[in-house]
C-alpha cells in the first residue's frame, strides 16, 4: 500500500474510533511488484463493514479488510447491452489511466453460463454475444488490459454434462474463438482461456479443449478462477498443460494417476496438501510425473487466481461424503487470501498471479446438500452470488497467506 494512503487510513481509523468522522471513504491504487494492476473502488458493503468494525473498536480487523480491498482485482463484466458494457469498460479504462495501472477484466457472459448454477445467465445467443464482445473491445480501445475470457467455459463441457439446451459444444468453441479473435484485433490485450484447476480435469482433457478453443492465438490460459487450490499445485498443473499442448496429448501427465518410472505404481493426486517431487505422501508426490515429462518443454504461458487460495482447498472430509455435497467451491470456510497480484512470479511460464475473484464476494447461497436455506458451515443464509459476505471476508483477511500488508 502507498505510505500516503496508509497514513490517511490510520488517521481516518483514529478519527472514526472517537466518532469524529461518519464514514471511511476513498480507494487508491497500490503498487504491485512488476505490473501495476488497477484497483477498483471497494464494495460499498466492504466500506460499511470497515466502518462497523471501527465503531466496535476493532481497528485491527478494519485495517485487514482495508488491506484486502486495496489490492488490484478483476472487474467482472457479466451482462448488459453492447452499449452498456462499452460504457462500463471505457470508464474502467479511464480510471485505470488515472491510476497508471493495467486493468484486468473477467469477461463472463457466454450463452449457457454456469450450467444453470448460482451464476446462471449469459447472452441469449451467439449473435448477441458477439455484439456484446464487440462492445467490450470498443471500450478497451487503444488501452492495455488483461482479459480472463469466460471462467468455467471449457470446464463445463461437454454440453451433455451441463444439461443445458442453450448451447452445443460447437457453439461454445465458436463463441470463444470469435471473442478471442475480436479482442486480438486490439493488439494490446492479453487474453487468457479457461483451463479449470488442479482438482478438476485431467491434463490431456483440458489441453485438448484449449487447443480446440484456439489457445495458439491466446496469450495463454488461466487457472483456479474463484477457487481455492494451492498455488504450488497449480504451477505444477499448468506446467503439465503447457508441455502437453507443445508435445501432443497422447502422453500427458494426469492428475488422476501419478505413476511413472521407476516403479510405475501411482495414485490420484490429492488436493489436500502441497505437491512436490519430495513429498512423502504418495498422493502429493509429483516425481514420477515430472520424470515422465523430463524431456518435454512447455511454451504456453498461464496466470493463476490467488485471491482465496492462501490456505489451500477446504478439507470437507468427515463432514460431507464428497465434494458435490460439500460444495467445496462455494464460500469455503476458514480460507485466506493468497499471493498479492504480481507479475514477478519467478517462473517463466507463469505470467502473473492475479486476484480474479473479488475476495469477500459470495459464491452464492450454498446449502451443501441440505434443505436450506441456511448454509450449515456458516449458520446463516449466504448472500447471493456477487454480494459482499462480511463473515467470509473477515476470515479471508485474517487467514491471509502471506499476511496482508
Q: What is the CATH number of the domain that holds 205?
A: 3.20.20.40
Residue 31 domain flag = yes
* pLDDT exceeds cutoff 80 at 285: yes
User: What is the distance between the alpha carbons of residues 171 and 384, in angstroms, rounded to a whole number?
Assistant: 29
Residue 252 domain flag = no
User: What is the distance between the alpha carbons of residues 315 and 328, in angstroms, rounded to a whole number?
Assistant: 8
Number of other residues whose CB lies within 10 A of the CB of residue 356: 27
Q: Which helix (H) or strand (E) holds 147?
A: strand 145-149
Residue 304 domain flag = yes
* pLDDT exceeds cutoff 60 at 304: yes
Among 31-35, 39-43, 121-125, which is the least confidently predicted range? 31-35
Residue 249 domain flag = no
Give residue 121's pLDDT band: very low, low, confident or very high (50, 70, 90): confident
Q: pLDDT by residue (tens digit) across 195-236? A: 999 999 999 999 999 999 999 999 999 999 999 999 999 999
* pLDDT exceeds cutoff 80 at 131: yes
Residue 254 domain flag = no
Choose between 368 and 16: higher pLDDT: 368
The whole-chain average pLDDT of the chain stands at 90
Range of the domain at 201: 3-240+297-398
Give residue 33's pLDDT band: very low, low, confident or very high (50, 70, 90): low
Give residue 254's pLDDT band: very low, low, confident or very high (50, 70, 90): confident
Give residue 19's pLDDT band: very low, low, confident or very high (50, 70, 90): very low
Q: How much is the average pLDDT of 29-49? A: 83
Residue 285 domain flag = no
Count of structural domains, the chain: 1
For residue 263, give Cα distances in angstroms to 79, 94, 99, 224, 291: 52, 58, 55, 31, 12
* pLDDT exceeds cutoff 60 at 23: no
Q: In sequence order, what DSSP letters do the residues of 25-71 get, joined into one string? A: ------PPSSS-B--PPPPHHHHHHHHHHHHTT-HHHHHHHHHHHTS
Radius of gyration of the CA atoms of the chain, in A: 21
Amino acid at each position: 500500500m502507498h505510505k500516503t494512503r496508509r497514513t490517511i487510513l490510520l488517521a481516518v481509523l483514529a478519527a472514526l474510533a472517537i466518532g469524529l468522522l461518519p464514514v471511511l471513504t476513498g480507494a487508491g491504487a497500490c503498487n504491485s511488484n512488476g505490473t501495476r494492476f488497477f484497483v477498483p473502488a471497494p464494495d460499498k458493503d466492504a466500506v460499511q463493514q470497515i466502518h462497523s468494525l471501527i465503531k466496535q473498536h476493532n481497528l485491527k480487523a478494519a485495517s485487514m479488510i482495508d488491506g484486502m480491498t486495496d489490492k488490484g482485482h478483476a472487474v467482472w463484466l457479466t451482462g448488459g447491452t453492447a452499449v452498456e458494457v462499452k460504457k462500463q469498460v471505457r470508464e474502467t479504462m479511464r480510471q485505470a489511466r488515472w491510476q497508471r495501472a493495467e486493468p484486468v477484466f473477467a469477461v463472463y457472459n457466454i450463452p449457457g453460463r454456469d450450467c444453470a448454477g448460482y451464476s446462471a445467465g449469459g447472452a441469449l445467443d451467439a449473435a448477441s454475444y458477439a455484439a456484446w464482445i464487440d462492445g467490450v473491445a470498443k471500450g478497451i480501445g487503444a488501452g492495455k488490459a488483461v482479459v480472463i475470457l469466460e471462467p468455467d467455459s471449457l470446464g463445463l463441457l461437454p454440453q451433455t454434462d451441463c444439461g443445458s439446451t442453450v448451447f452445443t459444444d460447437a457453439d461454445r468453441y465458436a463463441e470463444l474463438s470469435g471473442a478471442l479473435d475480436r479482442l486480438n484485433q486490439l493488439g494490446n490485450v492479453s487474453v487468457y482461456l479457461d483451463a479449470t484447476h488442479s482438482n478438476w480435469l485431467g491434463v490431456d482433457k483440458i489441453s485438448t479443449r484449449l487447443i480446440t478453443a484456439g489457445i495458439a492465438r491466446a496469450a495463454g490460459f488461466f487457472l483456479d478462477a474463484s477457487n481455492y487450490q494451492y498455488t504450488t499445485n497449480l504451477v505444477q498443473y499448468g506446467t503439465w498443460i503447457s508441455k502437453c499442448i507443445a508435445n501432443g496429448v497422447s502422453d500427458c501427465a494426469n492428475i488422476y494417476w501419478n505413476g511413472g518410472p521407476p516403479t510405475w505404481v501411482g495414485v490420484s493426486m490429492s488436493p489436500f496438501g502441497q505437491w512436490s517431487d519430495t513429498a512423502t505422501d504418495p498422493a502429493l508426490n509429483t516425481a514420477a510425473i515430472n520424470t515422465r515429462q523430463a524431456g518435454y518443454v512447455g511454451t504456453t504461458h498461464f496466470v493463476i487466481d490467488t485471491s482465496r487460495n492462501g490456505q489451500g482447498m477446504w478439507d470437507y472430509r468427515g463432514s460431507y461424503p464428497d465434494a458435490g455435497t460439500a460444495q467445496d467451491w462455494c464460500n469455503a470456510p476458514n480460507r485466506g487470501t493468497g499471493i498479492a497480484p504480481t507479475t514477478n512470479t519467478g517462473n517463466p511460464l507463469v505470467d502473473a498471479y492475479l486476484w480474479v475473484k473479488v475476495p469477500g464476494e459470495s459464491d452464492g447461497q450454498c446449502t451443501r446438500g441440505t434443505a436450506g436455506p441456511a448454509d450449515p458451515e456458516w449458520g446463516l443464509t449466504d448472500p447471493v452470488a456477487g454480494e459482499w459476505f462480511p463473515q467470509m471476508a473477515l476470515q479471508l483477511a485474517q487467514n491471509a497467506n502471506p499476511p496482508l500488508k
